[in-house]
Amino acid sequence: MSILVTGGAGFIGSHLVERLLQEGNNVVVVDCLWTGSADNIKKFQDNDKFKFINCDVRNCISIPEDMFGKILYIYHLACPASPDHFERSPVEILETCFQGTKNVLDLALKSKAKVLIASTSEIYGDPEVSPQSEKYWGNTNSFGPRSCYDEGKRITEALAYGYQKSHGLEIRIARIFNVYGPSMQIDDGRAVPNFIAAAKEGRPLLIYGDGSSTRSFQYVSDCVSGLIALMKSNYRQPVNIGNDIETRVDDIAKLIVELVQAKLGDESAAPDFKYLTAREDDPRRRKPDITLANEVLHWKPTVTLRDGLMATMDYFM
Ligand code: NAD
């Protein structure tokens, strides 16, 4: 019996695979290495319990019968997650969200597997309420630069609901809030690696907007624990998986500069911040209400922003 992880060569996926292997499971990764990397899974290659299939989930997914036997669980993470990709490949992202997810759900039906869908806080759009609980329906723009992802993930959830309703498929929906940690791509356009790279090289840190918008960053190991707890639970509605400590973007940038300078032992002047026009439709606030995750999964994040950033820097520097 095995566990399938789509997107397992990506940032969150590779951490999840590592944990599942540590727990003694057979793990099959399906990934087309679009935004992930072979480097992220190199360390598993000698493990007999690990298999990799290079495949785009938009095409039919086929898992050889003799691979590890029956698939019990599917974690469906395959999808680009960085704003740079939203700008470059909107149609491909929408195809991944709809056709890719449909292929995964069909495979789950055939295998009688339970599926966890990696949804996102972005389905709340630019929220009018804070914190965002699972009951909030969101404020998204269907015709804009982020629509492929925000609306794509909304259709992913709707599709999963349809399969649960029509076919009785066992579905779990994780609404994941911003995650950071080792194995992110340094150049994929997300705030934490962007800030670390700039601070390390002494370049100005680019902040979109005036710095007052907020994010609630969770360290990747917390996210992985939340996903596994949700998969094991009996809860069939969406659950927020995030850290509820909200921080201004400019405060995160300042903390990263402080930590990078301390790590480099650099006494010279700190790099500047350069404020750019806010990205269109970028959410101004992000703060999860994690009461539900607490109640139904007995899960809450444990890694502080400072500790998580230091571990992330150990990877990048
Ligand atoms: P990532 O880009 O590092 O990983 C995604 C992986 O999926 C990559 O390895 C990529 O090659 C693969 N992939 C993408 N499209 C594919 C396709 N069509 N077929 C096969 N493989 C494909 O991103 P991540 O940060 O690890 O995110 C993983 C999942 O979690 C995504 O579904 C994302 O929407 C969700 N999520 C992430 C965050 C975050 O902050 N990182 C927040 C909310 C939700």
pLDDT of the residue at 62: 79
Domains in the chain, please, with CATH? 2-178+219-242+283-299 (3.40.50.720)
Could you tell me which residues come within 8 angstroms of residue 235 by beta carbon, excluding any fewer than 6 positions away?
A: 172, 296, 297
pLDDT at 85 exceeding the cut of 90: yes
Q: Is 149 a catalytic residue?
A: yes
CA dist., res. 7 & res. 57, Å (int): 9
Rounded to 5°, angle at Cα 82 from 214 and 259: 55
Tokens of 114: 């339970």
Let me know: does 290 contact 230? Beta carbons within 8 Å: no
CB of 33 closer than 6 A to ligand 1?
yes
Phi-psi category of 125—alpha, beta or left, where left has phi over 0 and alpha has psi -120 to 50? left
Average pLDDT over residues 132-149: 97
Atom nearest to 119 CA in ligand 1: 44
Whole-number average pLDDT of the chain = 95
Using one digit for the tens of pLDDT, what is the confidence trace for 268-290?
777 889 999 998 988 999 999 99
pLDDT of the residue at 192: 94
Looking at ligand 1, which residue's alpha carbon is closest to its atom 15? 79
Q: Which of 18, 19, 33, 34 most suits a substitution to test ligand 1, by most atoms within 8 Å of the C-beta? A: 34
CB of 301 closer than 6 A to ligand 1?
no
CB of 58 closer than 6 A to ligand 1?
yes
Using one digit for the tens of pLDDT, what is the confidence trace for 210-259?
999 999 999 999 999 999 999 999 999 999 999 999 999 999 999 999 99
CB of 120 closer than 6 A to ligand 1?
yes
CB of 242 closer than 6 A to ligand 1?
no
CB of 157 closer than 6 A to ligand 1?
no
pLDDT of the residue at 124: 97
Packing angle of the helix pair 191-201, 305-316 (nearest 10 deg): 60
* Segments in 28-100 forming alpha helices (H): 39-42, 83-88, 90-95
From the candidates 149, 163, 180, 219, give the one annotated as an active-site residue: 149
Among 256, 279, 231, 293, CA closest to 122: 279
296 confidence band (pLDDT: 50, 70, 90)? very high
Among 55, 115, 57, 129, CA closest to 285: 129
pLDDT at 266 exceeding the cut of 90: no
125 φ, ψ to 5°? 60, -140
Looking at ligand 1, which residue's alpha carbon is closest to its atom 41? 179
Let me know: does 66 contact 42? Beta carbons within 8 Å: no
pLDDT of the residue at 225: 98
Atom nearest to 185 CA in ligand 1: 3
165 confidence band (pLDDT: 50, 70, 90)? very high
CA dist., res. 35 & res. 82, Å (int): 9
